[in-house]
A and B are shown apart, each in its own frame.
Chain A
């Protein structure tokens, strides 16, 4: 009887706690992040230039550095990030279920994802477009000659849908072989399972480095889609949404104002430009609205740098990916990167 009673009591408590969990108001995302002491960031499973573990097991790349910038804004320490490698197929579920705080994983901003998956896109860290890579010895010079080709791609990507649209629009047939991870796609393409590998052009540049003979392959000139890639947060916490959004805007504004990780200390002391002073926090209280310290902008630039620095270190012309700024140059330098002002 005693055991029976305790079993019943246990079941009752379980039931009550399920209800209680429902009624409780959850702490804000910022409070959660502060109390656990790090930002949990979802990244790709390995895409050179964007998020890729190096030989020491440290993550590097544009998407990775962005997460570090968010950590710098909150903790003043860019190392307070933990990374979760995610396949394209699993990334949104991880964010929806709260396993990660930010998804920073070369993810295209689309209306479906923004409106019906419970997600918020915070901005564009890389303006991209989908392209095709093929072996040089196939002697193909245009994507319009690809009718009948086998195409390798990753499942659960906009790539897969653009591919279908493009071949349909141009009355061409194709066979798609879709894999769950990037590495599988690259391996299958390298083994000759398919004639063509398709993904975002920045991705092609990164994946090419993984092939046995990178020089045997060319990227075809056609860009068949717009792929604005950027960080994503879950619906339901506007403050967190604002923080992630403004970290990128601060980095873009910093580049525009010529503030970088090397001169930011000097600017903190001697700046006369009010825009710079607002960015580094010596004028106004712009951190308050975000729930951060007023030096949030300074901390980002000091610990990670401005957008241009981040770009040059990860995907720029001096990296193995050799991607020129193109669309990703600032609006006043021929590109379309543009951030709302800090004021």
Chain B
């Protein structure tokens, strides 16, 4: 017994300072205090300097009238709106580019990534060249290339390219008809919702049917029929309440319709194709990480090549693909701030550019902008992590 008590007693006797637990907590506390102190003195320093230079501080400026125009606004905005509203306009424009860009980049990235492993020489070579060229050129250069290429190839509004007299393409962008909603349009919109609900339910039912009977039902065709049939029926029942406003050339430019500005097209296409090159490499790595035995096993079960890829290889590859895919999505969102080079009114151009310059509230505006990008990144990461968890290998 004394043998056991010995070390215990020794431990009690040892100095408080040498207790690893106390030490680690103590040191972390000291580090924390130093960090807080440094942060506080930086903030103090900034405040004193601003006061000495008589620079106004605070967030009150957000309620002041902005007094400048923005050429793409997803919410109503005019020159009499506030800086706060200009901020929201810029933010929505950034999110629009990010969402559309991520959608396109994912599709192109998967196609090219699979293409790089194709047995077809042409497909493989084209995919390789695509990846090597786009991955190695700076994104700003690609944005400028698209912008200038798009612009210089397009005629002026008066000689614009017309598709069926409804869609017009010129150096002012793409102008498409704007839908106008009359009485009963709500029913038509609801019917689209019902079609969505119906097709989800049918999919579930079809899956359980297949498990029971082994028979596969034509899910795609039924869904398509729902999506076309229901709104069509609703349209006929309510007497076609949705009409389209055709853009017409008036004075300098088109009036009416929805205008997709060339800055948006150039930025989105450039970012999507650039990011797609990286996604393609992630996809290739993911597919190659799935052992070839899986493919052989699938083939021996009688699955065709496409089915093998879709049902066996890709689901397993996703586990490798998703984490780096998340970081590509974040990169695309952050790279959208290069918009400033071509005059697309994104958050950085509108808020951290024009608003900052006019109000001089550099610290507040940069803090808000950094916060927004951080928040966008966190949201993207949360969504992708949730998806990752769902597809992760369940180990038993």
Contacts and interface: CB of A to CB of B under 8 A. Distances in A.
Interface in B213-257: 250-253, 255
A15 B342 contact: no
B31 A11 contact: yes
Nearest to A134: B252
B262 interface: yes
Contact of B356 (A89, A177, A188): A89
Contacts of A177: 71, 261, 263, 343
A14 interface: yes
A287 interface: no
Contacts of A195: 252-253
A176 B357 contact: no
A45 interface: no
Sort chain A's interface into a size bin: 35 or more
B342 A175 contact: no
Interface stretch (A71-79, A145-153, A219-227): A145-153
Interface string B333-366: 0000000111101000100011011111010000
Interface in B30-45: 30-31, 34, 37-38, 41-42, 44-45
A30 interface: no
Nearest to A115: B54
Nearest to A138: B252
Contact of B172 (A12, A92, A150, A179): A150
A4 B55 CA distance: 41
A192 B151 contact: yes
Interface string A153-179: 001110011011100100000111111
A175 B41 contact: no
A22 interface: yes
B156 A164 contact: no
Interface string B54-65: 111000000000
Interface in A223-245: 234-236
Given A155-B357, A180-B341, A235-B54, A22 B252 contact: no
Contact of A161 (B68, B70, B341, B353): B68
Interface string A174-211: 11111110001001100111010000000000000000
B253 A150 contact: yes
B55 A117 contact: yes
Contact of A178 (B42, B172, B252, B345): B345
A111 interface: no
B19 interface: no
Contacts of A4: 27
Contacts of A92: 357, 360
14 contacts: A15-B34, A15-B37, A22-B44, A89-B353, A116-B56, A146-B252, A149-B252, A155-B357, A156-B353, A160-B354, A161-B68, A164-B69, A184-B342, A193-B171
> Top 8 closest A-B pairs, CB basis?
A156-B357, A118-B53, A117-B360, A118-B55, A164-B79, A176-B69, A148-B251, A18-B41
B132 interface: no
Interface of A: 4, 8, 11-12, 14-15, 18-19, 21-22, 88-89, 92-93, 96, 112-113, 115-118, 138, 146-150, 152, 155-157, 160-161, 163-165, 168, 174-180, 184, 187-188, 191-193, 195, 234-236
A101 B264 CA distance: 38
B67 interface: yes
A184 B343 contact: yes
Contact of A184 (B31, B53, B156, B341): B341
Contacts of A164: 67-69, 79
Given A22-B44, A184-B343, A165 B67 contact: yes
Contacts of B69: 160, 163-164, 174-176
A148 B253 contact: yes
Interface in B340-396: 340-343, 345, 349, 353-354, 356-360, 362
A156 B349 CA distance: 10
Contacts of B357: 88-89, 92, 155-157
B53 A235 contact: yes
B358 A161 contact: yes
A216 to B, nearest CB: 14
A191 B45 contact: no
B166 interface: no
Contacts of B343: 152, 177-180, 184, 188
B360 A118 contact: yes
A236 to B, nearest CB: 5
Nearest to B34: A11
B341 A118 contact: no
Contacts of A168: 79-80
B291 interface: no
Q: Max chain A CB contacts within 10 Å: which of B30, B253, B359?
A: B253
